[in-house]
């Protein structure tokens, strides 16, 4: 390649690099923005509109006062068999007043042996935390607990 050709190719390459972000705008970048949802909407996504019964089979353990709303420990145990055809299919945790109330969905199988999860969730403010157990027969059970966090602070 002679000097003239090299300069032509280099010039074209530079132009292509400079122009590509404009041409590719909206195609190459992910533009998924977080969606604000109500608790009812989030619940419907999980249950498909089926009723959810309060049940003491679902044990939700969370602090009544969380010293740090960014990492609130939550444990859920469902007192239900874990055998073929009759098991807890999933445990969902929702934080009612969060921007998106769905905090976690843990999918289980009988191989898990026990319907139990332990995690940490973020709470934007004081609110109720809800644990939903999705059973293999398509029914839903739930337990709720209010968790208080600081009303705020300055940086």
Binding site for another protein (CB under 8 A): 61-68, 73, 148-155
CB of 72 to another protein, least distance (A): 9
CB of 15 to another protein, least distance (A): 49
Q: Are 60 and 132 in contact (CB under 8 A)?
A: no
Pairing of strands 140-147, 52-54: parallel
Of the pair 77, 136, the CB lying nearest another protein is at 77
Of the pair 30, 64, the CB lying nearest another protein is at 64
CB of 125 to another protein, least distance (A): 11
Collapsing DSSP to helix, strand or coil, 15 comes out as helix
* Tokens found for residue 72: 């609130």
Tell whether the torsion through CA atoms of 18, 20, 25 and 29 is positive or negative. negative
Q: How far apart are CA 137 and CA 89, in angstroms?
A: 9
Of the pair 11, 73, the CB lying nearest another protein is at 73
Of the pair 88, 149, the CB lying nearest another protein is at 149
CB of 65 to another protein, least distance (A): 5
In the numeric block, the tokens 């959810």 are attached to 52
């Amino acid at each position: 390649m002679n000097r003239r050709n090299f300069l032509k190719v280099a010039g074209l390459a530079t132009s292509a690099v400079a122009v590509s972000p404009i041409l590719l705008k909206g195609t190459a970048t992910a533009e998924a923005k977080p969606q604000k949802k109500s608790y009812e909407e989030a619940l419907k996504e999980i249950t498909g509109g089926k009723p959810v019964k309060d049940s003491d089979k679902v044990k939700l353990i969370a602090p009544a006062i969380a010293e740090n709303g960014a990492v609130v420990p939550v444990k859920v145990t469902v007192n239900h068999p874990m055998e073929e055809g009759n098991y807890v299919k999933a445990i969902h945790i929702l934080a009612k007043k969060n921007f998106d109330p769905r905090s976690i969905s843990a999918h289980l199988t009988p191989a898990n042996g026990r319907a139990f999860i332990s995690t940490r969730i973020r709470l934007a403010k004081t609110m109720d935390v809800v644990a939903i157990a999705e059973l293999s027969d398509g029914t839903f059970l739930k337990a709720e607990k209010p968790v208080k966090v600081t009303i705020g602070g300055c940086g």
